[in-house]
Structure 1
């Protein structure tokens, strides 16, 4: 009797796991919409344009955290392997700390990124930068 109950529990668990996997597969990859909106480089604030050119030049950057790996935990950017994205601070006039403006670039060569994104609201939203 115990063996029969164990088998039923195992089959029920397997069915639940299969249903969950099927639902995830049906949904497909995470939507890319939040980062799909674009902004021209010329339309960024002057500090954002300056940061963008510093990125392409390889620095020097004003903050220690600049150039470090951005985890993309919220998956607002297209999903990539860890280490693909790096973050950079865009100075905010009148603010003594890093503020909330950032540029996040993706690519395996930091001075030649595949693409860069601007966030004016500390990673709540992104717009792809069009040079």
Structure 2
């Protein structure tokens, strides 16, 4: 299982503390406000399947699985090009790939779930 990083949250807390102590200002980015969290156990079963495939390295059901996610919507935290990759979460009954995805971050090994085709994301929490 992949575990979400704690450094991102610690880094944000350090920025707030530093700004308070040094008299600076803190501005929230849209990405930070748009990303929630979801317990692994609350994900649909198909998301569990996709996370298992990612962990094993495939095989994936769609040719697009594993491609670089561009983060054009800028909902996820800003990272260098090529950092994020997306994978399909199968939607039962859908004739297409549907709107559900897992987007992974390479360096920190975080996993994000979206059920609305990148409008919102939840960081998967494997600890609850």
Report the counterpart of residue 128 of structure 1 in structure 2: 123
> CA deviation digits over 1:87-128, x for unaligned, max 9?
0000001012100000100015xxxx6101000000000000
1:48-127 to structure 2, matched below 5 A, reads 48-108=47-107, 114-127=109-122
User: Where in structure 1 are there 5+ consecutive unaligned residues?
Assistant: 1-25
Larger-gyration structure (1/2): 1
Name the structure where helix makes up a greater proportion of residues.
Answer: 1
Which of structure 1's runs of 4+ aligned residues deviate more than 4 A? 26-29
Number of residue-to-residue matches in the alignment:
101
Q: Which has the higher contact order (CA 8 A, sep 6+)?
A: 2
Provide TM-score, normalisation by structure 1. Answer: 0.72
Cα RMSD, aligned residues only: 1.7
Contact residue 30 and residue 75 of structure 1 kept, 8 A: no
Provide TM-score, normalisation by structure 2. Answer: 0.73
User: Where in structure 2 are there 5+ consecutive unaligned residues?
Assistant: 1-24
- SS at structure 1 position matched to 2:55: helix
- Displacement of 1:29 in angstroms is 7.0
